[in-house]
Each structure stands twice: as C-alpha cells, then as structure tokens.
Amino acid sequence: MSDETSIKKDDLQADEKDLINELTDSEYKWGFVTDIEEEEFPKGLSEDIVRRISKIKNDPKWMTEYRVKAYKHWLTLKEPKWAKVKYPKIDFQNIRYYSAPKQKEQLESLDDVDPELLKTFEKLGIPIEEQKKLSNVAVDAVFDSVSVKTTFQDTLMEKGIIFSPLSEAIKNHPELVKEYFGSVVPYTDNYYAALNAAVFSEGSFVYIPKGVRCPMELSTYFRINAMDTGQFERTIVIADEGAYVSYLEGCTAPMRDNNQLHAAVVELVAKKGAQIKYSTVQNWYPGDKDGKGGIYNFVTKRGVCEESAKISWTQVETGSAITWKYPSTILKGDNSVGEFYSVAVTNNYQQADTGTKMVHLGKNTKSTIVSKGISAGHSNNSYRGLVKIGKHADGARNFSQCDSMLMSDKCGAHTFPYIEIDNKNSIVEHEATTSKISEDQIFYLNQRGISTEDAVSMIVNGFCKEVFKELPMEFAVEATKLLALSLEGSVG
C-alpha cells in the first residue's frame, strides 16, 4: 500500500522527543541472561548432529528415521526468497542446534527445578509456581530446547487430556504422536519445516479427548537463552470430536548482538465439531535501535478443520528482527470455520512479513481475517494472505480486513492479498486501509486534556481493539503493555 512516504521534516515537540529517547533508552524488558549451566552441541548441522539430537532425546527408531529423511530433504531445498524481508544470508553451519539446561535427573516436582531457572521465569512474569493454580493456567515452559516442567498435568489427566512435552508424549503416547506428527505440516512442506523436522528438540503435545472441554487455558512459554542457538520446537494440538481447547503461546529471548534463529512448527487438528483457539504473544528480542541482533523467526503454523470444526488463530507479534509467519487453516470439512486475528508491530529496523492462508475445501466454510499492522521507525510491515476457494466449496464465505498504521515517514506498510476463487457460489470480501497516526490525532486528544503518551496508547489500542478482544483476558493485558512498550514515543 503506502511506502516510503514523503512528508515534511521532523518537527517534533520537545516532549515527544523525550518520549523517543525514553523508548530508545528503554531496554528490552526481557533482556537478561540467566546464569545456569547449559549443555550444548557444537555448531553446525550434519546427519551426525541430527542423529545425536535424536539420541539425546531418546527417540524411538521411527522418529530418528523421520529426522534423517527430513534432513536429507532439507539439503535439496533452497531458502525461500519471496517474502518482503531482507537479511544477510544465514550460515546454517554457524548455528548450534541443541542446547539444554544441564539437569541432573528427571524432576518430580517444581521444588526440584533449578532455582536460577525459576528466577528466570519469575523475571519473565510467568508465575509457574503455585499461584498458577489460581490463575488456572497450565504451563509448559520450553527453555532453549528442553521442556522444563509442565504444571497441572494431574488435573488434566483426570479428564483424559494429554498436555506434555513432546518428548514425553513420544514415550508415553507413541501411537497418537505417530498418527499426527507431520500430518498437517509434513517435512516436505517448506525449507524451515524440513529443518525443524530434522532437528526439533522439544515442543508441546496436546490431546483433548472426544467431547471434552478443556477446563483451563493451556500455555507454553518459549525462551531462547544460549548464544548462537537455534530453537526448533514443535507443537501439536489435537482436539478430538466435539472437544474444545484454548492454547496460549508466549515467546521471549534475551538481548544478543548476534541474530538467533527460531524455526518452529505448529500443527493443529480439529476433528468434527471441535474448536481450537490458538493465541500467541510473540516478543522475541527484536534487535537494538540500529537493527543489530534479534531473532529470525521463521515459523510454519497450520491447522486442519474437519466437519463443523473451528480453528481460531490470534497473534500479537511485537518481537523478532524478522518475522516470517503465516498461520493457516485448511477448511476441509463442510461448515468448518477459520479465523485469523493478528496485530503485528514493527519498530526500528524490524521486518515482518506475516498473514494467513485460508483454504476453503468444504461446503459452507467460513473464514474471517482481521490483520492490523503497525509500523514505526525504519521498519517494514507486510500483510501477505491467501484466500483460496476450492471447486467444491459451495457457499464458502470469506471476509478479510487489513489495516495498516504508519507511525513515521521512514517505515513501510504493504498489503499482498491473494484471492483465488474456483467456485462461483461463494462470497469473498476484502477491505484495506492505510492510515497514519498523525499530529492532528494527537493534538485532538491533547486538546481534550489527554497527554501525548496516553494519546498514543489510546489510538494504538483502539486500532488493535478488534484483535485484542479475541485474546484471553490476561494475555490481552500483556499485549496492551507490550504494544505500549514497543511503540512509546515513536510517533513522528
């Protein structure tokens, strides 16, 4: 849409300049390094490394074979270049593919967890301890590449819900994992999916049995800690017929000068009449104000809806130097529903190319896309979305709304909607807007007695309202704060 806009010179008032300074000085809130022993592999990727990861994870044979197959396939692929992001070539041999906090033995309770680690979680504001029970959230925290502890497992077990680190699930529920692993995102899907399949070290596995409504929100926190480490986690969520689950995913990483790689895969399966609500607040380290460091976030997320099922993706993306992410839904069954609500914020030199794919195959399938992009500083923010209506998708219906907000004259917002319709009896609607948070808007609020800082947060939160209201309550509060943090004073 609008790009490199020409506008008059910088004529900010003193107090706005202060705010900008405050922002550029304000450190990345999660930017600290936990001082605990890490067990690391040497840098580089080879079949040997893949096998070593597999061994350390105690993989069954089929999984080891799967990894090696994926690795061999990866070797034949080229990095995708179509996204509107620019970055120096990634040296895949200069990345460490496994890093785990060194642990003496299997932990039985939270008391056994390394106190340093617990402190880290506290700093992150993740109340992993008993207070968790009050807030009714079960957490699986993935620290670098290993899942540390899953709370609440017992409560969940009573209902037959499986919520565990993937490695445990592979051991305890091999048949289930084998059935679904790679069923939605096969290793042949794309470059990063292949890489993930080869070297994934941990992840979360969720299974909700038939007709069960998961009584609490399930949550995973991912954190990259070790230097030069890539994180390749894998999440699988299966909601059996008529089941319901709301799953939250949060991400943070410490400040590092080097770029770190994150290439996750998420697979969702919603069986007949099931519902999955998948929410993400992504706050990986975005790099400093000059664009140094930060996470490269290349993620493949996809879900399949069977008859009358519903998958709803909600994401708030404020972090990462580069975000490359298109949570998608295949509406396979008749009357199934896909939703995508997204806020992507970029500041300084961040780049985001994100959106969704809604593939309508079944009859009377419906999808809704609401995407809000906010760009500030020198950043670039692109929405890229595909709506595909298949030949047999009679009565399919899509509504897409893509709004971009520009906060400086050096940033860019782009919209790439792809619409492919092979069925006449369908309705596809698309709306797009580009606006600028302007001096006039702020002055209007000032003139009603509201300070500039409050004005910016009011305007930005208003802009994102349709997405925030989709988030679970406590995530919404966090998202609002994150947004303020990422954007404070960046009006210009």
Partner 1 sequence: MISIKNLKAKIDGKEILQGINLEVNAGEVHAIMGPNGSGKSTLANVLTGHEKYEPTGGEVIFNGKNLLDLSPEDRAREGLFLGFQYPVEIPGVSNATFLQTAINEIHKYNNEAELTPKEFLDRMKEKAKVVGMDNSLISRSVNTGFSGGEKKKNEIFQLLMLNPKLAILDETDSGLDIDALRVVSNGVNEFRNENNAVILVTHYQRLLDYIVPDFIHVIYQGEIIKSGGKELALELEAKGYDWITNGEA
Partner 2 sequence: MSVEVKKMDAVERYTASAEKIIARNKNSFLSQLQSEAKVKLSEMKFPTLKTEEWKYTNLKRLLSSELIHSSEIDEITITSDDVEKCKFNNFEHYLLVFVNGVFNEELSDYEELKNEIVISTILKAAEKDKKLIESYFSKIAVNKTAFDHLNLANFTDGLFIKIPNGKILRKPIQILYISDGKGDMTFTPFRNLFVVGENSETSIIQKYVGQDGSKYFNNISTEIFIGQNGIMNIYKVELENEDSYHINKTDVTQSRDTQFNHFNFTFGGKLIRNDINTELDGENIECTLNGLYIGNGNQHIDNNTYINHAKPHSTSNELYKGILDGSSRGVFCGKILVDRDAQLTNAYQNNNTIILSDTATVDTKPQLEIYADDVKCTHGATVGQLDETALFYILSRGIPRDKAKSMLINAFAESVVDSVKIEGLRDEINSLIYEHLNRDNVL
Give contact residues for partner 1 (rule: CB under 8 A): 8, 11-13, 15, 438-441, 443-452, 454, 458-459, 461-466
Shortest distance in whole angstroms from residue 352 CB to partner 1:
21
Of the pair 404, 426, the CB lying nearest partner 1 is at: 404
CA separation, residue 435 to residues 2, 13, 459 (Å) = 9, 21, 12
Shortest distance in whole angstroms from residue 410 CB to partner 2:
12
Of the pair 435, 461, the CB lying nearest partner 2 is at: 435
Shortest distance in whole angstroms from residue 71 CB to partner 1:
47
**What is 25-75 written as a DSSP string?**
HSPPTT-------EEEPPB---HHHHHHHHHHTT--HHHHHHHHHHHHHHH
DSSP 3-state of 75: helix
Which of 375, 327, 385, 384 is closest to 351 using CA atoms? 375
**Count of residues that bind partner 2 according to CB under 8 A:** 20
The residue type at 341: Y
Of the pair 364, 446, the CB lying nearest partner 1 is at: 446
Rounded Cα distance, 350 and 334, in Å: 39
Stretch that binds partner 2, among 1-9, 56-64, 101-109, 374-382 (CB under 8 A): 1-9
Q: Alpha helix (H) ranges present in 181-332? A: 191-199
Residues 132, 249, 470, 348: is their CA dihedral positive or negative?
A: positive
Please compute, for residue 57, the number of CA atoms within 13 A of its CA located in the half-sphere on the CB side. Answer: 33
Strands 137-143 and 328-331: unpaired
Site string for partner 2, 363-402 (x = CB under 8 A): --------------------------------x-------
**Which tokens is 452 given?**
């500039």
The CA angle 8-9-13, to the nearest 5 degrees, is 110
Is 234 a binding residue for partner 2 by CB under 8 A? The answer is: no
Residues 14, 15, 16, 19: is their CA dihedral positive or negative?
A: positive
CA separation, residue 136 to residues 58, 218, 275, 431, 480 (Å) = 32, 9, 20, 38, 21
432 interacts with, out of partner 2, partner 1, none, CB within 5 to 8 A per kind: partner 2
466 interacts with, out of partner 1, partner 2, none, CB within 5 to 8 A per kind: partner 1
- Candidates 7, 33, 107, 157; binder of partner 2 (CB under 8 A) is 7
484 interacts with, out of partner 1, partner 2, none, CB within 5 to 8 A per kind: none
Of the pair 21, 135, the CB lying nearest partner 1 is at: 21
CB atoms within 10 A of CB 106: 7
**φ, ψ for residue 34, nearest 5 deg:** -85, 135
Site string for partner 2, 435-474 (x = CB under 8 A): xx-x-x----------------------------------
Three-state secondary structure string covering 139-198 = EEEEECCEEEEECCHHHHHHCCCEEEEHHHHHHHCHHHHHHHCCCCCCCCCCHHHHHHHH
Rounded to the nearest 5 percent, the helix, strand and coil shares of the chain are 25, 35, 40
Q: Are 299 and 262 in contact (CB under 8 A)?
A: yes
Of the pair 80, 462, the CB lying nearest partner 1 is at: 462
Of the pair 10, 179, the CB lying nearest partner 2 is at: 10
- Candidates 117, 361, 406, 483; binder of partner 2 (CB under 8 A) is 406
Of the pair 94, 433, the CB lying nearest partner 2 is at: 433
Q: Which of residues 413-442 bind partner 2 (CB under 8 A)?
A: 425-436, 438, 440
Shortest distance in whole angstroms from residue 462 CB to partner 1:
3
First and final C-alpha spacing in the chain: 19
7 interacts with, out of partner 1, partner 2, none, CB within 5 to 8 A per kind: partner 2
Of the pair 421, 484, the CB lying nearest partner 1 is at: 484
431 interacts with, out of partner 1, partner 2, none, CB within 5 to 8 A per kind: partner 2
Of the pair 13, 433, the CB lying nearest partner 2 is at: 433
Shortest distance in whole angstroms from residue 421 CB to partner 2:
10
Of the pair 192, 463, the CB lying nearest partner 1 is at: 463
The site for partner 2 (CB under 8 A) is made up of 2, 5-7, 395, 406, 425-436, 438, 440
